[in-house]
Amino acid sequence: MNIKLSEEQQVLCDAIKDTCEKYLNKDVFEEDEKEVFNREKWSKLGELGIFSLPFEEELGGLNVDAVTTTLAIYTLARYCKDEGLVFSVVAQLSATQIPLWIHGTEEQKKKYLMPIITGEKIGASVISEPEAGSDASGMEAKIRKTDKTFILDGTKTFATLSPVSDILLVYAKHPNGIKMLDISALIMEKGEYEIGQVFQKSGLRTSPMGEVVLSNSEIPLDRLVGSERRAMSIFMDAMMWEKLLMGAYHVGAMEQQYYDVYNYAKQREQFGKPIIEFENIYNMLVNMRMRVETGKLMMFDVSKGFGKNQGDKYGAAMLKLHTAESKLKNSLEAAEIMGTYGFLKESNVEKQVRDSLASGIYSGTNQMQRRILYNKLGD
């Protein structure tokens, strides 16, 4: 599909493409192999304004709408070969910045959100636990309140960006609460928590993920985000935006992959002709292109209904589900088209397959998205 952009959107997309080609696509394979998070590239993204997209100008933001924000993430994924970096951008924007933006106090926004917007500091959201994944409300990390502080105790896991973060948004449970009504979210600063195991992963290897250990950590009362015991609403707002922006990342990455494989199929010859002329090859390319185009249509349609305090949770769930499944299917078909080259470590397709493996897990599993959409089957 042809996307008609405003002049402002075109300038933004051109700047993102230029930054990818000049700075972000350097040493991608080496950094993936060594699991390197490149802080210099992160700073370049801060200079570009990628962390400032939907936020008000007084916070240092660009104050663009959700459609433009989604378009920017799509464009970043379209031209950046480091998917771990793109994934990290979406994780911070949706899971840390959005909650502080919607639910934080003015003082919290100035002290914690503004330096994240500029790229000076990195923020992570910490909610998952060894026994609390899809059922986030089943967490066991404890929070106790005294006259002057909250005290946190427990272990969090699978926290994206936590090993390199300066600021954490941590969810924990009060005693004697009612499951969904006993969780609060607090801001923690570096030095108030410990990083446990840093996980090695199959894909998205430049996006660090680790454990966070809370050992009777004392946090001032003014670090509470939103209302006490009402943090699940904060988490749901974050997840709604995360599904939208992860969908945009998936679509952009799929489109990058499609054109790489399409050009390969036009050039690669077997039996005296380009392999794109073989039915099984062009059938796979057609399938790949259809998934990209349907994902793009859904992405723009869903983003039109988003704002600071609103969003289509069902549309976001369908977008995330469709693009997560499409991304893995496209990657496997791309590897098949590339043949042996798609299996080699030096191939971008090999890395794309690995980067796609978790697409149906993060931001809510595919099964959880289907559970959400089950409630809308009759509409």
- Residue 138's pLDDT is what? 75
pTM of the model: 0.95
The CA distance from 245 to 72, in Å, is 10
DSSP string, 160-204: ETGGG-SEEEEEEE-TT--GGGSEEEEEEETTSSEEEEEPP-SS-
Which residue carries 């993936």 as its tokens? 32
pLDDT in tens, 144-159: 999 999 999 999 999 9
pLDDT in tens, 344-355: 888 899 999 999
- pLDDT average, residue stretch 301-317: 91
For the chain, which residues make up each domain, given as ranges? Answer: 7-122, 124-230, 232-377
Query: Which CATH fold would you assign to the domain 124-230?
Result: Butyryl-CoA Dehydrogenase, subunit A; domain 2 (2.40.110)
**224-225/209-220 β-pairing:** unpaired
Start-to-end CA distance of the chain, whole Å, equals 27
Asked whether this chain's domains 7-122 and 232-377 adopt the same fold, the reply is no
The CA distance from 225 to 240, in Å, is 18
Task: Classify domain 232-377 by CATH architecture.
Answer: Up-down Bundle (1.20)
- Residue 362's pLDDT is what? 94
- Residue 190's pLDDT is what? 95
- Which has more confidence, 179 or 289? 289
- pLDDT average, residue stretch 171-184: 80
pLDDT in tens, 57-73: 999 999 999 999 999 99
The CA distance from 5 to 46, in Å, is 23
Question: Helix, strand, or coil here: 153?
Answer: strand
- Residue 369's pLDDT is what? 94
Q: How confident is the model at residue 377 (pLDDT cuts 50, 70, 90)?
A: confident
On the question of pLDDT at 307 being above 80, the answer is yes
Average pLDDT value over all residues in the chain: 94
Per-residue burial over 192-210, b if 16 or more Cβ lie within 10 Å, else e, is bbebbeeeebebbbbbbbb
Which residue carries 């994780």 as its tokens? 91
Q: How confident is the model at residue 180 (pLDDT cuts 50, 70, 90)?
A: low
The CA distance from 276 to 267, in Å, is 8
Beta bridge partners of 188: 168
Give just the sign of the alpha carbon dihedral 350, 355, 356, 358.
Answer: positive
- pLDDT average, residue stretch 10-36: 97
- Residue 345's pLDDT is what? 83
Determine the Cα angle at 241 with ends 235 and 245, to 5°.
Answer: 135
| CATH number, span 7-122 | 1.10.540.10
